[in-house]
Amino acid sequence: MFRFHFLLCLFFSFAVKGTVLSQQLASIYKNETIAANQINEANKLTDKKIVSLSIILIIILFLLFYFLYQNNKLKEKIKRKDTKQKILLNIINSSIDSQEIERKKIASFLHDNINSLLSSAGLHLNTFTVQHEIKSEEIHKAKTILSQAHELLRDMSHDLVPSLLVRFGLIYALEDLCEKNSNSAIVFKFSSSIPTNKRYTEKFEMKLYFIVTELFNNIIKHSDAKESNLSLIEKNNLLILRIDDDGIGFKTQKPKDLEGFGLNRIRARIKKYKGTISITSKENEGTQIKIQIPLPH
């Protein structure tokens, strides 16, 4: 009987332990199942994040390549535009150089040949009238016509290439230009801190002289100014010219609206010497022009 009771207790003990063990195993299985589900959810979330990041990265790369493409396209466009501008500037400068060479040739031809012939004809006519003691109204008129033709040709040759510019240099020539363009309607004033006997290269002086000539013509034709000032200084290895007037000014600062004033040719001349030009103007407040050009060596 005792053995049966012992065995029964032992059985119940094993049964209780089995039940607890099974509960523990069920709990462990449940926890493992929950953990597995959490891991799966985490893996799914990670996969989603990876996919989202991949899509974002692809979009960023696409935008980057697009902007690089557009940037390269813009660079090519700017490059083509710069090339066109350089070609245009070279054409303008070639035209200007040819014109200046022709100016010099024509001026030299007029001065050295035609004027000499007219002077010789006048001298022979004077000698003939003196030797033969001839007093004739027709001969007197012929002398007057020859003298007028001589003066006209001299003025024409000086307009083509001013003798002061060739003989005495830019400073003298610009001062004389201010004096010649001054009249009762407008006064051109000249100031310079550069010695009057300072000389530059012949081409450099001619370019600057004709730049100032064109700007003076614009002032006379378009500005309705009463006074204009031209000043020259040398600073930091630059020749700086300032021209200002008290005229009506421009209504706009857009470069396209100013090209009618011959600025294409002026800019081409200045850029050839790696210089700059700036124009400041307001309506009814006049115009200020500043030109800076590296000094020739």
Q: What pLDDT is stored for residue 234 in this prediction?
A: 94
Residues 6 or more apart in contact with residue 171 via CB below 8 angstroms: 192, 194, 195, 196, 197, 198, 232
- pLDDT tens digits along 166-191: 788 999 999 989 998 999 999 999 99
285 token code pair = 């407040």
- The whole-chain average pLDDT of the chain stands at 78
| Residue 195, CA atoms < 13 Å, CB-side half-sphere | 4
User: Residue 255: pLDDT above 50?
Assistant: no
91 token code pair = 């054409």
Q: What pLDDT is stored for residue 171 in this prediction?
A: 93
Q: What pLDDT is stored for residue 101 in this prediction?
A: 67
- pLDDT tens digits along 76-127: 888 877 777 677 666 666 666 666 667 666 766 665 666 667 677 777 777 7
Closest CA to 114 of 165, 152, 142: 152
| Length of the chain as a residue count | 297
List beta partners, residue 238: 235, 294
- pLDDT tens digits along 124-162: 777 777 777 777 777 777 777 877 776 776 666 666 677
pLDDT confidence band for 9 (50 / 70 / 90): low
What does the pLDDT average to over 29-50? Answer: 73
* Percent of the chain with pLDDT strictly greater than 70: 70
What does the pLDDT average to over 61-90? Answer: 80
User: Residue 276: pLDDT above 50?
Assistant: yes
**Contact in structure between 203 and 166 (CB atoms under 8 Å):** no
> Where are the domains positioned within the chain?
167-297
**Contact in structure between 106 and 160 (CB atoms under 8 Å):** yes
Q: What pLDDT is stored for residue 15 in this prediction?
A: 54
235 token code pair = 């600073």
Flag whether the pTM goes above 0.95. no
Is 10 buried (19+), middle (13-18) or exposed (0-12) by CB count in 10 A? exposed
The C-alpha atoms of residue 75 and residue 92 are separated, in whole angstroms, by 25
pLDDT confidence band for 230 (50 / 70 / 90): very high
More confident residue, 217 or 35: 217
Lowest-confidence range among 3-7, 19-23, 49-53, 109-113? 3-7
**Class at the top of the CATH hierarchy for domain 167-297:** alpha beta
Q: What pLDDT is stored for residue 148 in this prediction?
A: 76
Torsion sign, CA atoms 175, 179, 181, 182: positive
